[in-house]
Amino acid sequence: MGPEQSGGFEPATGDGPPPAEPAAVRAGSVRTAFEGLLQIRRLTGGGAAGPAPWERNRPVRAVALALEHSGSAPSAVDAGGRRVSAGYRVSGGESAGSVRVEWVGPPGSGAVHDEEEALSGCATVLRGLGWTVLLYRGPRRRRYLEVEPPGGMSGGHGRS
């Protein structure tokens, strides 16, 4: 039984285990889910202009789906919660309705050296789908993205 049958498709946020199904099966599930998201946009009149109400109500899921569909690699953790692969990590942001995107990986993975280019690619994907994306520097000068639907960003972060 695949993930669609056992409880619905869940896009990779970077905090789960590595995908259990074969890459081709996962890619098909991602493609189907993303086409569904685009259909929701068409039906709600938003088109490509920006996130639909469904996305605004589930921003972590919507952003994770967009990144996974783009071919960006999600990070993953093992059963003990240790990072086992480098990639994006999507989580709730600092303000309501916002999402934080980081580039993380296990020690020695080189994630810190790849983060600027990788996050730039993530930002391009998300802006292309109508999200507002800002790049920040956090603790230890690590970069991250703060993502929101159009309409302004809140918070008092130091931009990089």
pLDDT tens readout for residues 112-124: 999 999 999 999 9
> Is the separation of the CB atoms in 100 and 92 below 8 Å?
yes
Half-sphere exposure of 2 (CA within 13 A, CB side): 13
- 40 by DSSP, 3-state: which? helix
Confidence of residue 26 (pLDDT cuts 50, 70, 90): very high
Give me the pLDDT at residue 46, please. 63
Q: Mark 47-82 as b/e (b = at least 16 C-beta within 10 Å).
A: eeebbbebbeeebbbbbbbbbbbbebbbbbbeeeee
- For residue 67, the model assigns a pLDDT of 98
Q: Is the pLDDT of residue 158 over 60?
A: no
Who's near 46: CB < 8 A, 6+ residues apart? 52, 130
Q: Residue 92 corresponds to which tokens in the numbers above?
A: 């709730």
Q: Given pLDDT bands bounded at 50, 70 and 90, which one contains residue 45?
A: confident
Torsion, Cα 85 93 23 128, to 10 degrees, reads -120
Q: What is the pLDDT of residues 66-89, one digit of tens each?
A: 999 999 999 999 999 999 999 999
Q: Is 51 left (phi over 0), alpha (psi -120 to 50) or beta?
A: beta
pLDDT at position 38 over 50: yes
Residue 155 has pLDDT above 70, yes or no: no
